[in-house]
């Protein structure tokens, strides 16, 4: 009989706490498996609403081979208007499917999983792409994703001795700055946008729908910009950069900054390669340029992290079993 379980957000939080390095390794392995072709990662599907142009719900189906050998889908909403009433912007669930039968076997609360895999991707990129440890880190955006990235940078020993926080909402910037001091022992302060962008390592974690960092902005050789929110940078800024993506075809769509750069240039020659190619030594970045890492966000990462947490939850007895979830368990 097929088995079905659920895993709550409270348990997801407990399973993630203190295991940041394990999550980074899950993400690293998933990137390498995807680069090797041991995955299926179709286009994400965006459900948009005419009367809520800033809101969307996204379906990310995927299959991850190797040891996991599972399929699944993340269904994640982004409603920025929630912030005004004190609710988190994003909410999500992750369904895991058995690859032998196709049956779903688990439903996981996935806002925490999504934030963790995003932050792990950022921390991994910082470790792989930064030529030297950054003397300063700047955050544009002071929400859950920025906070989670800060946690993962701290866990992977990225120095947080000079952290500059900027958000168009002063309360968010202050909250991030305070959290960094209390939880990471960071020397953090609220700054203007220009000072944050002057940092050695820049984290873009906003809800911007279109570029607001102008083409006249300059970045230094060796600066690393983690383009997590994907739409902050004017496309001209990418044409003079090392551009490292998680997946080229996925990232060059949906009006991301790399997609706009492709439209502006009329080609993809500005793309340096993928993070997995850099990890394998197949492509090199030019030290005379700044580097932009643009991760579109792959469903295989959610599967990798979600399945890792599912197995730990099974071992620790955290799963809630629903033995009668499936109505018919025999064909005849």
Terminal Cα distance for the chain, rounded: 14
Mean pLDDT, residues 251-279 = 97
Average pLDDT, the chain: 95
Is 240 exposed, middle or buried (CB count within 10 Å of its CB: 0-12, 13-18, 19+)?
Answer: middle
Q: How many whole angstroms separate alpha carbon 141 and alpha carbon 203?
A: 8
| Whole-number pLDDT of residue 172 | 92
Question: For 243-264, what is the mean pLDDT?
Answer: 96
Nearest-angstrom CA–CA distance, 76 and 116:
14
Query: Could you give all domains of the chain from N- to C-terminal order, each with its CATH number?
Result: 5-113+299-321 (3.30.1780.10), 131-294 (3.40.50.720)
The pLDDT tens digits for 15-37 are 999 999 999 999 999 999 999 99
Answer whether residue 184 shows pLDDT above 60.
yes
Distance CA 41, CA 209 (A): 24
Q: Are 326 and 10 in contact (CB under 8 A)?
A: no
For range 266-283, the mean pLDDT: 98
Residue 315 has pLDDT above 90, yes or no: yes
Q: What count of Cα atoms within 13 Å lies in the side-chain half-sphere of residue 54?
A: 12
Q: What is the pLDDT of residue 328?
A: 81
Model confidence band, residue 330 (pLDDT cutoffs 50, 70, 90): confident
At 83, is the pLDDT very low, low, confident or very high (cuts 50, 70, 90)? confident
Instruction: Tell me what pLDDT residue 329 has.
Output: 79
**Residue 235 in this model has a pLDDT that exceeds 80:** yes
Query: What is the C-alpha to C-alpha distance for residues 126 and 141, in angstroms, rounded to an integer?
Result: 18
The rounded distance, in Å, linking the Cα atoms of 312 and 72 is: 18
Write the CB contacts of 197 (distance below 8 Å, at least 6 apart in sequence). Answer: 138, 140, 213, 217, 219
CA distance 33 to 3: 27
What confidence tens digit (pLDDT) does each residue in 91-145 have? Answer: 999 999 999 999 999 999 999 999 999 999 999 999 999 999 999 999 999 999 9
Give strand pairing partners of 165.
139, 190
Is the pLDDT at 13 greater than 60? The verdict is yes
| Residue 251 and residue 259 in contact, taking contact as beta carbons nearer than 8 Å | yes
Locate 87 and state its tokens: 């609710």
3-state secondary structure 176-232: HHHHHHHHHCCCEEECCHHHHHCCCEEEECCCCCCCCECCCCCCCCCCEEECCCCCC
Q: pLDDT value at position 104?
A: 97
In the prediction, which pLDDT does 107 show?
Answer: 98
- Give the separation between CA 200 and CA 23, rounded to whole angstroms: 25
Whether 221 and 289 have beta carbons less than 8 Å apart is answered as yes
pLDDT band of residue 205 (cuts 50, 70, 90) is very high
Is residue 1 predicted with pLDDT exceeding 60?
Answer: no
Each residue of 34-68: pLDDT tens digit?
999 999 999 999 999 999 999 999 999 999 999 89
Residues of the chain above pLDDT 90, percent: 91
Q: Would the pLDDT of 2 be above 80?
A: no
CA distance 119 to 218: 26
Cα-Cα-Cα-Cα dihedral sign, residues 296, 301, 303, 306? negative
């Amino acid at each position: 009989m097929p088995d079905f379980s659920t895993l709550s957000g409270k348990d997801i939080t407990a399973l993630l706490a203190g295991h940041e390095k394990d999550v980074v390794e899950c993400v690293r392995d998933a990137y390498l498996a995807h680069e090797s072709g041991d995955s299926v990662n179709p286009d994400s599907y965006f459900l948009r609403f005419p009367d809520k142009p800033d809101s969307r719900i996204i379906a990310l189906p995927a299959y991850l081979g190797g040891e996991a050998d599972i399929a699944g889908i993340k269904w994640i909403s982004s409603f920025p208007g929630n912030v005004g009433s004190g609710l988190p912007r994003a909410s999500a669930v992750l369904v895991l499917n058995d690859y032998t039968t196709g049956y779903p076997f688990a439903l996981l609360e996935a806002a925490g999983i999504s934030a963790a895999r995003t932050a792990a991707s950022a921390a991994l990129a910082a470790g792989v792409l930064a030529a030297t440890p950054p003397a300063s880190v700047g955050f544009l955006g002071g929400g859950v994703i920025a906070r989670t990235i800060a946690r993962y940078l701290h866990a992977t020993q990225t120095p947080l001795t000079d952290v500059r926080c900027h958000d168009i909402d002063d309360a968010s910037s202050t909250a991030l700055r305070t959290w960094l001091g209390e939880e990471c022992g960071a020397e953090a302060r609220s700054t203007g946008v220009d000072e944050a962008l002057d940092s050695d390592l820049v984290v873009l974690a906003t809800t911007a729908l279109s570029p607001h960092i102008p083409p006249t902005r300059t970045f230094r050789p060796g600066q690393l910009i983690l383009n997590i929110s994907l739409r902050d940078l004017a496309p001209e800024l990418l044409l003079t950069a090392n551009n490292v993506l998680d997946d080229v075809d996925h990232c060059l769509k949906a009006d991301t900054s790399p997609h706009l750069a492709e439209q502006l240039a009329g080609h993809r020659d500005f793309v340096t390669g993928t993070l997995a190619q850099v990890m394998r030594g197949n492509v090199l970045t030019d030290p005379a340029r700044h580097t932009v890492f643009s991760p579109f966000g792959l469903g295989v990462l959610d599967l990798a992290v979600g399945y890792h947490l599912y197995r730990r939850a099974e071992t620790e007895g955290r799963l809630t079993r629903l033995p009668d979830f499936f109505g018919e368990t025999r064909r005849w």
